Structure 1
Amino acid sequence: MISADGISPSDETSSALRRLRALPQHDLLTLAGDWFGELAPWRSAETLGAIAGLPAERVLASLLVFGEQVTETEAREDVPGPLIDLLLDTGVLTESAGKLTAEYCLVRGDGLALFAAWRAAGRDVGSYAPWIGTDSITLARLVGARRGVGSCLDLGCGTGVLGLAAARNGANVRSVDVNPECTAATTLNAHVNGVADRVTATAGDILSLSLDERFDLVVSNPPCLPLRRGALGWLAGEAGLDGLDFFWELLSRAPGLLTDDGEALLQAAAYGDERGPFFISRLEEEVRRLGVLGRLLVRPATPPRWPAFAPRDENQQLTGPLGDEVREYVARVGATHYYGFVLSLRPGDPGLAVGRFR
């Protein structure tokens, strides 16, 4: 399991750690397949050419981008010893019989270098967390476009990408996740990207978190698929058959966490039909009840989506009790489409505007 115990402030400014930030690597935005989670490392000629003449980068790419084993002797010949020691101390690398294996992949998202679970890069090994997907990168870009943010709360931080996008603009960030593997990854990723002095990651359940602070920006990309708590190795939570349990809870709490000029950005996904998501009428009622101004941005529709990595048959249909339950629900509500979305909430005249990503 990844750990933040092996890092110190001096590591952040070391030339060895900066090498990770510059490492040529695949970009998640180039990897999206037809199914969420079907991502694979980018092995383009440009990437291979960039690392071909650089021994240290070639070794690091073999380990962290392509998931290949490298002998420790070979690695230490080309890669600075302090960097190898750091990656071993934090659990990113493990050693067995003289060979090094990367337990996490290194991916790039919107200019950030992020340690994430290998399953985010399409390899069926290791943990399911910290997860990152193209939806995370989209939301990170929206976060990065918010300037003048002094304080940010990232709920369900995962890799930390959302909070890091705010910290890169100068915000002080509090990142929270129920999974200690995610809070450790967030801390390590903050060091890798040079913003560790502005990011504090703490373990906690986002649905029972008690906070007295108010923030200029609250961001969250919570679970939005019907996985059971702890299922498939995920320490996240069950989002209900419609995938919105976390969303509704966060929506009710977000206004009380904002400063007078603050904003919340909540991302999730919902079932619908060709006209749009089913939940919009309820959302409009909730926004008015909470007394806030909401703007909903809806992504292009896909077919109804199943949980990533859940067991499926040869036709890509869910199998087992969860599959039966989800299929019965989708048929009962008449869902034919599945919409990702981002909701912006601000203090202001209550109401909801609905738009679409272009």
Structure 2
Amino acid sequence: MISVDGLGPTDYERADAARLTRLPQHDLLVMAGARFGDLAPWRHPEYLRAVAGLPEEQALAALFVLGRQVPEGSLPAPLLALLSHAKIVSVGSGLLSADYALVRLEGLTLLAAWRAAGREVGSYAPWVGTDTSTLCRLVAARRTARTALDLGCGTGALAMTAARNGARALAVDINPECLAATTFNAALNGLADRVAVRQADMAALDLGERFDLVISNPPFLPLRRGALGWLAGEGGPDGLDFVWAIVRQLPELLTERGEALVQFASFGDQRGPFCAAQLADELPGLGLSARMLLKPPTPPRWPAFAERDEQGNLAGDLGREYRAYVQSIGATHYHPCVLSLRPGDGGLTIGRYS
């Protein structure tokens, strides 16, 4: 688990953290989503050739991109001291191993879970993926917000994107590992003075302040809470437990002209997501208006990270439970979407995200 206790700005400066951000090959990790269909460039010869051409940075690339071990003496002593102190690397038999991947996302350099880089090892948190990239681009277009709230911050990418626009950002997560990652990543990207972290449950917030921009890419795996034993991940049978919790707290979180951006996915049919009707009914009582931007739907998809059989379907009791639920509600489609909410009485409109 990442630890940042006792680390200050001079620690990052002494370790020359900026040299981590000068690794252009890490951009391929995000580009891989469009170019290769996944976030795992280490599988592809083109990527491996790019890394091989950068001998000065091969040790860092081997550790944080390819997931390989390197000799303990491969890194400068100050940098090794920082990474070891922060519990980002571990040492055994004279070899270094990275416990997190280093990825590039929308111009940010982030420590993230190896699972975000396509490796089935380690924790799922702090997570970053293509949904994060989508929301980062939307946040980057909101340039007038003076204050921002990132709910379920993970790597802190959304909070940092708002901070780059000049906002004072508060990053909230229930998982201390994510708070530590956000703290480290903010320092790594020169945004430590604009990003604060706070441990809290996004389903029961008591922050005592309002924000011009509220952002969240919450857990929305369509599994009952606790099914996988994670600290946070499952969003209930329909995946929307956290989404509803956030929406219903927005009247106490948004400034008069504020906006919330929430990314999630919902079961539905060919006409659209089932949650749209309930959302339209609840908006007037909350004093909110909303626009739902839909991405192309897929068939009801199996939640990630759960045990599967040889055909890729959910296995065992969990699989039977999931299939029974999908059948009971008559779902034929799974609709990824971004929801924009503002104070007002404009109701709900639905469009397409492009």
Aligned to 2:41: 41
Q: Percent identity?
A: 57
User: Are the counterparts in 2 of residues 32 and 134 from structure 1 also a CA contact under 8 Å?
Assistant: no
Amino acid at match of 1:31: G
**Structure 1 portions without partners, runs of 5+:** none
Answer yes or no: is 1:165 the counterpart of 2:161: yes
Distance 2:106 2:300 in 1: 28
Distance 1:184 1:230 in 2: 23
Amino acid at match of 1:309: F
TM, length-normalised to structure 2: 0.93
Give the 3-state SS of the residue equivalent to 2:258 in structure 1.
strand
User: Are the counterparts in 2 of residues 303 and 338 from structure 1 also a CA contact under 8 Å?
Assistant: yes
Aligned to 1:330: 326
Q: 1:88 to 1:232 in 2, by over 3 A?
A: farther
Q: Which of 21, 26, 29 is 1:27 aligned to?
A: 29
Q: List 4+ stretches of structure 1 deviating above 6 A.
A: 32-35
Deviation at 1:136, TM superposition (A): 1.0
Amino acid at match of 1:52: A
* Residues 44-64 of structure 1, C-alpha deviations (whole Å, 9 max, x = no match): 566445443433311100000
User: Are the counterparts in 2 of residues 119 and 128 from structure 1 also a CA contact under 8 Å?
Assistant: yes
Give the 3-state SS of the residue equivalent to 2:278 in structure 1.
helix
Deviation at 1:310, TM superposition (A): 0.3
Within 5 Å, which residues of 2 pair with 1:1-358? 1-5=1-5, 7-13=7-13, 16-23=16-23, 24-25=25-26, 26-31=28-33, 39-42=39-42, 47-73=47-73, 75-76=74-75, 80-227=76-223, 229=225, 232=228, 234-358=230-354
Give the 3-state SS of the residue equivalent to 1:197 in structure 2.
coil
CA-based RMSD of the aligned residues comes to 2.1
User: Are the counterparts in 2 of residues 284 and 352 from structure 1 also a CA contact under 8 Å?
Assistant: yes
Structure 1, 7-16 or 61-70: larger mean CA deviation: 7-16
- Equivalent pairs counted in the alignment come to 352
**Structure 2 portions without partners, runs of 5+:** none
User: Are the counterparts in 1 of residues 174 and 200 from structure 2 also a CA contact under 8 Å?
Assistant: yes
Q: 1:125 to 1:237 in 2, by over 3 A?
A: closer
TM, length-normalised to structure 1: 0.92
Structure 1, 345-354 or 146-155: larger mean CA deviation: 345-354
Q: 1:82 to 1:344 in 2, by over 3 A?
A: same
Structure 1, 286-295 or 24-33: larger mean CA deviation: 24-33
* Residues 10-38 of structure 1, C-alpha deviations (whole Å, 9 max, x = no match): 24445720111121213335237999xx6
User: Are the counterparts in 2 of residues 116 and 185 from structure 1 also a CA contact under 8 Å?
Assistant: yes
Give the 3-state SS of the residue equivalent to 1:86 in structure 2.
helix
* Residues 253-302 of structure 1, C-alpha deviations (whole Å, 9 max, x = no match): 01220111111111111011122111111111112221222111111111
User: Are the counterparts in 2 of residues 151 and 171 from structure 1 also a CA contact under 8 Å?
Assistant: yes
User: Are the counterparts in 2 of residues 6 and 90 from structure 1 also a CA contact under 8 Å?
Assistant: no
Distance 1:12 1:354 in 2: 45
User: Are the counterparts in 2 of residues 155 and 221 from structure 1 also a CA contact under 8 Å?
Assistant: yes
Give the 3-state SS of the residue equivalent to 1:266 in structure 2.
strand
Amino acid at match of 2:105: G
Give the 3-state SS of the residue equivalent to 2:327 in structure 1.
helix
Deviation at 1:42, TM superposition (A): 4.4
User: Are the counterparts in 1 of residues 32 and 41 from structure 2 also a CA contact under 8 Å?
Assistant: no
Distance 2:29 2:259 in 1: 28
User: Are the counterparts in 2 of residues 229 and 235 from structure 1 also a CA contact under 8 Å?
Assistant: no
